[in-house]
Structure 1
Amino acid sequence: MLQNRVTPFGNIIKTSARGSLMGNRGLLHNEKQEIKRPFKLTAWITCVLEFKDRKRPVMAPGQYTEFFFMDEATSFAAGHRPCFECRRSEASAFKTFWLKGNPEYGFNSKTPIKLIDDILQKERIDTDYKKVTFEEDPVALPDGTFVVFGNEPYLIKKGMLHLWSAEGYGIAKSLPQEKLSVLTPKSIVNTFKAGYLPSFIE
């Protein structure tokens, strides 16, 4: 069993559960298929599982590390964004709504995606490689956002909390009346508020 599944915390774990999307942060593994670093590139992308009949062995020596997400909401919580090659329509929509939701940066449609990636890098992981979070009232958060409740990751959907696991979501529970730590990077939360609705496993 390979260490190639990503949690909403951005951690890469071992599990037999399969994912619906693939992720890429560059070459993270060694010749023994062991994860040796959390990332190499600042462009953390989310890809489809199949594209143009391309075939490649997972964690091949010297090649980028393939890992997997349960769904798109999980990938966003980990700090990834859609790939502009294999998910062009989603990537274009993401950039459009990111710009709309984060006007304070003064970016426009011609702004290179690298500048957005640089902001996401600061929002998802600190210099000690620890997950960056912020506090917010869950009532103010849009669907698709992940929060921490009781030290566990929960998805907010339709005004309820849904416990995440590698196999799927648990039974819904009511939102608590307290601020929670938000796992989804702040500018991505703003992107959801502006109109981008991430997909999630039902």
Structure 2
Amino acid sequence: MTLQNRVLPTGEITAQAFRGTLMGNRGILHGADQRLKTARWSHPHWVTCRLKYKDWHRPVMTPHNYTELFFLDECTALAAGHRPCGLCRHKDYSLFKQAFMAANTTRNLSETDRLMQQSRVLPNRAQRRYQAPIETLPDGSFILHQNAPRLLWQSHLLLCEGGAYTSKIPRPAHGPVTVLTPAPTVAALAHGYRPALHQSARHLLPL
């Protein structure tokens, strides 16, 4: 059975077979049958972790333990509202925290997670999206373009589908777009945080 634990840039948690490069944690979301319940989070500390850390290992979706979620790459995880883990990704966490706090004037991790929670989901649990001029968005931001999630990187829009970046089109010079990545995280990207890209994106980009 393909488990429902792959997270898309649109915030959807799907049952797909692609292998991600990061694991996420929002708390316990599954039951003993390894199926997701109604809740899509049980705490506001949405983190992304390395797939391997020290010698830690356990079966996925163990009863009474947090639900392992998986992301294609960090840009996808940021769009879904996650941030780096302070334990297994301490260097990335420190860089993200520095950029996020400078951009959003939060003073500590509690304020950061509170602001992220407010900016990523609506009261009905849907992803919170907003409009912005494309010319103001930094590399690493996800937008909806032609009803599909696309990553802004350099002068391109990269289509994300089926567990990979599959094609690119030129990035429009200006105009309003629907942004998937939460606004405070976009601000952190604009302040210099550089997310890791999946190798399929690098195959589409010029060297």
- Residue in structure 2 matched with residue 10 of structure 1 by the alignment: 11
CA drift of 1:18 comes to 0.4
The 8 Å contact of residues 101 and 112 in structure 2, kept in 1 or not, is answered as: no
2:145 alignment partner AA: F
The 8 Å contact of residues 135 and 175 in structure 2, kept in 1 or not, is answered as: no
- Is the partner of 1:100 in helix, strand or coil? helix
The 8 Å contact of residues 139 and 175 in structure 1, kept in 2 or not, is answered as: no
Q: Distance in 1 between matches of 2:68 and 2:163?
A: 19
- Is the partner of 1:170 in helix, strand or coil? strand
Q: Distance in 2 between matches of 1:198 and 1:45?
A: 14
Q: Distance in 1 between matches of 2:103 and 2:115?
A: 14
- Is the partner of 2:42 in helix, strand or coil? coil
- For structure 1, list consecutive stretches of 5 or more residues without a partner in the other structure: none
- RMSD over aligned Cα atoms: 1.0
1:138 corresponds, among 110, 131, 134, to: 134
2:65 corresponds, among 35, 59, 63, to: 63
Q: Residue by residue, what CA displacement relative to the aligned partner does 1:45-68 show, whole Å, maximum 9, x if unpaired?
A: 000000111011100111100010
The 8 Å contact of residues 8 and 76 in structure 2, kept in 1 or not, is answered as: yes
- Is the partner of 1:181 in helix, strand or coil? strand
- Residue in structure 2 matched with residue 93 of structure 1 by the alignment: 95
CA drift of 1:166 comes to 3.2
TM-score for both structures, normalised by structure 2: 0.92
1:158 corresponds, among 151, 154, 162, to: 154
CA drift of 1:121 comes to 0.5
TM-score for both structures, normalised by structure 1: 0.94
The 8 Å contact of residues 5 and 12 in structure 1, kept in 2 or not, is answered as: yes
- Residue in structure 2 matched with residue 179 of structure 1 by the alignment: 176
* Identity across the alignment (%): 38
The 8 Å contact of residues 70 and 166 in structure 1, kept in 2 or not, is answered as: no
- What are the residue-to-residue correspondences of 1:3-152 with 2, within 5 Å? 3-36=4-37, 37-103=39-105, 107-108=106-107, 111=108, 113-152=109-148
Where do 4+ consecutive residues of structure 1 move more than 3 Å? Answer: none
Q: Distance in 2 between matches of 1:80 and 1:159?
A: 25
2:191 equivalent to 1:189: no
Q: Residue by residue, what CA displacement relative to the aligned partner does 1:151-201 show, whole Å, maximum 9, x if unpaired?
A: 110000012110111321122112244311100000100001001011111
Q: Distance in 2 between matches of 1:4 and 1:166?
A: 14
2:142 alignment partner AA: F
CA drift of 1:99 comes to 1.3
Q: Distance in 1 between matches of 2:155 and 2:90?
A: 30
Q: Distance in 2 between matches of 1:120 and 1:146?
A: 16
The 8 Å contact of residues 116 and 184 in structure 2, kept in 1 or not, is answered as: yes
1:169 alignment partner AA: Y
- Residue in structure 1 matched with residue 205 of structure 2 by the alignment: none
1:178 alignment partner AA: G
CA drift of 1:91 comes to 0.5
Count of residues paired in the alignment: 196
